[in-house]
Chains A and B, each alone.
Chain A
Amino acid sequence: MQYRRRILDISQKVTALHAAPAFSCVEITDVIYRGLMRPAPDGKGFSDAFLMSKGHGCMTQYAVLEALGILASEELDRYCTPQGILGAHPDRGNPGIEASTGSLGHGMGIAVGMAHAEKILRSGKRIFAVLSDGELQEGSSWEGAMMAANLHLDNLLAFVDLNDIGGLEKMSQSHTAFYPLREKFESFGWESAEVNGHDCAAMHQAVNARRGGRPYALLCKTVKGRGVEFMEHVPIWHYRSPSKEEYAAAIRDLREVSA
């Protein structure tokens, strides 16, 4: 899948695209949609639900939804224009979009509500949420984590994109008490595992190996800007779209990571 190439192409039309945080969760998003979510019985879409809690990663979700035929290519071409429906954060009501995110620390709570609703409805449906490491600095994420375990929501699977880079600096250097993270989830009553977030097979395997009975956190170690060497680990690419010259260099440099 040429997701990164697609995102780079679109980046030439807008100034703010969040390319690097989209690149860090390409494989995570791909393996959830194409490897883990179960299709709906009528073949249209999925019976499980996907929630992009790190709303600034939605460019990746758009590219995956386009590849799945859920989102029209013309809509991606009209990204962030008055003629289109897609913005730099997901908007509920657009094809394949469950919730309007963008403000961080909201996705966990919404996902917990969705997962508990499916329990009440006895649907057997699962909720997959993609969170950033940065948004786990929000207290609300942990209010949600606590409730998920209190409610025994084993149908909630949270994938945390551990790219280590916040808007300002490297969290591993600036907020050392944020770590260890896996132990935090475990002590909040979750089952967890840590894998390479660019290795689809490893993520798939980890999810299938879970014991179950509790909410599940998959801590995915990733590289922000992954795939374009000069973007990797560089905070400025959180917000920036590449210039014409940078775009050309990025295309030359691009390493798509296979699923």
Chain B
Amino acid sequence: MRNTFAKTFLEAAQKDARLCVVVADISPAGAMDQFRKEFPERFINTGVAEQIMIGMCAGMSMRGLKPFAYTIATFALYRPFEFIRDDLCYQDLPVTVVGIGGGVTYSTLGGTHHAMEDVAIASAIPNMRVIAPCDPEETRAATQWCVAQEEGPVYLRLGKAGEPLITQNAKPFAFGKVRLLREGRDVCILGYGPVLKLGMDAAVALEKRGISVAVASVHTLKPLDREGIVPLLASFPKVVVMEEMVPHGGLGNTVKALAWESGARCRIDCLSLQDEFIHSYGNHDEILRAHGISFDRVVQLVSA
């Protein structure tokens, strides 16, 4: 996802001289390095200083440029939070804050590097839009939307690298619209981010057992596609929401509220990170499992 973002951004920046990147001491790999070489003035490294990363983006945007702030999600969003709120959101500036390693992607680096609450925090700010694509192709489409938009601030939550494709058979990405990745009749899985791969795997496995599972990417968390989600809650007897985020302030709670408001009768189960700092290390899958998110658990919830 990181590499796809960089490649897509570079292609756009070659055509739009207003696109800039402000990073806080993160290594510019791949296409980002090429962007830096081609446009040294438009690649700014503030060093280990995230408040000025956001402040500069605000000032550059005010003078007509289109800056992207880019670093590890915890440092992109948490450290300069009040700068994102006041400088970007209060003033409604078209700046994209890119958070790399959303959720517990950086599985060996400990809690300081786990963006477990980012979607809830970003969504809470007026004017902020929140996008969390699930695979490299969806990242490409989301990035293309971000470089083109001029309306206001965006938090773009990405994973790291090497995520598999799961959107091959889906209709094109549309900002603010739920995207059906796989048709089904019995159960509907709603989710966002790379963790949705577990949902796709579970859907394939359960098909052999005669359970037909639909999977939808809710890549735009804010504004949420209420008109797209309500019919799903009405037409499926069972819905499973999965997200690599703490249980509060995320998609699960919102979907339950939507079900209540719309009078839906479906059963809703939610799978999320725990409301807990888990002092455990391992690969990404292993840390997700420590939080209770695994292929087996998804299969169990969907088929229960």
Contacts and interface: CB of A to CB of B under 8 A. Distances in A.
Interface residues of B, number: 28
B233 interface: no
Interface in A98-118: 98-100, 102-103, 105-106, 108-118
Given A99-B91, A143-B49, A109 B41 contact: no
B63 A114 contact: yes
A113 B86 contact: no
Interface string B58-84: 111111110100000000000000110
Interface in A57-115: 92, 98-100, 102-103, 105-106, 108-115
A116 B44 contact: yes
B57 interface: yes
Nearest to A151: B44
Contacts of B60: 113-114, 116-117, 120
A117 B54 contact: no
Interface string A25-62: 00000000000000000000000010000000000000
Given A109-B87, A143-B49, A117 B55 contact: no
Interface string B83-95: 1001100110000
A118 B63 contact: yes
B52 A147 contact: yes
Nearest to B62: A114
Contacts of A114: 59-60, 62-63
A105 B87 CA distance: 11
Interface in A115-158: 115-121, 139-140, 143-144, 146-147, 151
B51 interface: yes
B83 A109 contact: yes
A146 B47 CA distance: 10
A106 B91 contact: no
A249 B4 CA distance: 68
Given A106-B83, A111-B59, A112-B59, A121 B64 contact: yes
Contacts of B65: 117, 120-121
Given A92-B91, A109-B83, A151-B44, A140 B55 contact: yes
Contacts of A118: 63
Q: Is the interface of B mostly helix, strand, loop or mixed?
A: helix
B49 A147 contact: yes
A121 B44 CA distance: 15
A113 B53 CA distance: 9
B66 to A, nearest CB: 10
A112 B83 CA distance: 14
Interface string B235-266: 00000000000000000000000000000000
B218 interface: no
B59 to A, nearest CB: 2
A139 to B, nearest CB: 7
B86 A109 contact: no
B59 A116 contact: yes
A118 B65 CA distance: 10
Nearest to A120: B41
A222 B136 CA distance: 56
A115 B59 contact: yes
B58 A99 contact: yes
26 contacts: A92-B91, A99-B87, A100-B86, A100-B91, A109-B55, A109-B56, A110-B56, A110-B58, A110-B62, A112-B59, A113-B57, A113-B60, A113-B62, A113-B63, A113-B67, A114-B59, A115-B59, A117-B60, A117-B64, A118-B63, A120-B20, A120-B65, A140-B51, A140-B83, A144-B55, A146-B47
Interface of B: 20, 41-42, 44, 46-47, 49, 51-52, 54-65, 67, 82-83, 86-87, 90-91
The 8 closest A-B pairs by CB, nearest first: A109-B55, A113-B59, A113-B56, A117-B63, A114-B59, A143-B52, A140-B51, A143-B49
Given A92-B62, A147-B52, 17 more contacts: A99-B58, A103-B82, A106-B83, A108-B55, A109-B51, A110-B62, A112-B56, A113-B56, A113-B67, A116-B56, A116-B59, A118-B63, A119-B41, A144-B56, A146-B47, A146-B49, A147-B47
